[in-house]
Amino acid sequence: MSVSVPIRLGERSYPIHIGRGLLARPELLAPALSARQVAVVSNETVAPLFLERLQAGLGERHTLAVVIPDGERHKTLETAGRVFDALLGAGFDRGCTVVALGGGVVGDLAGFVAATYQRGVALVQVPTTLLAMVDSSVGGKTAVNHPRGKNMIGAFHQPRAVLADLDTLDTLPDREYRAGLAEVIKYGLIGDPEFFAWLEDHMDALLARDTAAVTHAVERSCSDKARVVEADERESGVRALLNLGHTFGHAIKTATSYDRWLHGEAVAAGMAMAADLSHRLGWLTPAELDRTLALLAAAGLPAAPPAMTPDRFRELMSLDKKNRGGRLHLVLLRGIGRAVVTDAAEPAALDATLAEFCARPVPDPA
């Protein structure tokens, strides 16, 4: 059984297919693979597990597999250059399709390659992590990192389809699975209080990877994101709400060289800090702050940053690409399910949040 969530963007519309056994259903990908040339970009961890299964459904097309190193430290222009070299070496033209098979790093990098190779070629996302299924594979954001900041070099480039085969989660380590739950929790916090309450009641089932619970969580998350992307494809307005916790989280990722913390772990700590700041501004009640921190804890996620001085944290936050005119733009909460973007957070309140959280750092997750 599978479900499909549509992304309605006119001529750029596409389906998100969610369910088990989808890699064995080539008819789901066929409408998005008009090209005879298909390049599958994967990494050293995922390719041995799923590449052969995916390629078996591509038929008689000219296929190319490009396997990159695993880890976010490889989400760079240098690695993208290796993929460009492979495409050019194989004679792939502007009618080719790039298929991203992997987690968020693979999806972001392969998407960036598809957005820029010969000024743009078709893209299909086949996410293999929970985080990628509910976030990075959906919505058309592609990017690589720069040493001075996360996702600083990128483009908007929508896929032709997203294929979220829940079977791939069976091999996902617990730490990476929990990191994906951070983005699931985010959807409840920014605009879906009923989903947040459902997560409070079903976190044990999600941690046990119950198929019905996981299917519902992925479908609800994708539906919530679809509504935001349809309203604001290029992040000129409400789509910025999807960045709850990300300005804090990206500072953590930069401080740890994109290596020691997973994206979802950094976002979880960032959401805890955003909730604390919202409470200090009088926007989030004590009970709502407690519920937010309790759900992050129930998911086994960090709720504080690594060791760092407040001044260093603020410096790294200032590098965030969402800032404008030297002003820090943050996504904060006026209640569970009521996120806002603001550049008017009182400096004293932000200082207090940074001072408190930096005074009680947590070890690197393991």
Cα separation of 164 and 151, whole Å?
A: 23
Active site residue 119: yes
Cα separation of 164 and 120, whole Å?
A: 23
Active site residue 225: yes
Contact (CB, 8 A) for 20 and 45: no
User: 200, 230, 233, 235: which one is catalytic?
Assistant: 235
The one-letter amino acid at 29: L
Cβ contacts of 214 within 8 Å, gap of 6 or more: 130, 166, 169, 206
User: 11, 27, 60, 119: which one is catalytic?
Assistant: 119
Cα separation of 29 and 4, whole Å?
A: 13
Active site residue 263: yes
| Cα 279 to chain centroid, rounded | 26
62-68 and 2-7 as β-strands: parallel, antiparallel, unpaired? unpaired
Active site residue 75: no
- Name the 3-class secondary structure at 345: coil
Active site residue 141: yes
Which pair of tokens denotes residue 106? 């693979």
User: 74, 178, 186, 246: which one is catalytic?
Assistant: 246
> Which residues are bridge partners to 327 per DSSP?
324
Active site residue 235: yes
CB atoms within 10 A of CB 145: 24
User: 75, 250, 253, 329: which one is catalytic?
Assistant: 250
User: 186, 216, 225, 291: which one is catalytic?
Assistant: 225
Contact (CB, 8 A) for 78 and 147: no
3-state SS track over 235-279: CCCHHHHHHCCHHHHHHHHHHCCCCCCCHHHHHHHHHHHHHHHHH
User: 43, 145, 151, 243: which one is catalytic?
Assistant: 243
Active site residue 183: yes
Active site residue 243: yes
14-19 and 2-7 as β-strands: parallel, antiparallel, unpaired? antiparallel
Closest C-alpha among 45, 146, 38 to residue 100: 38
- DSSP annotation of 327: B
Cα separation of 269 and 104, whole Å?
A: 19
Tell me the catalytic residues.
119, 141, 183, 225, 235, 239, 243, 246, 250, 263
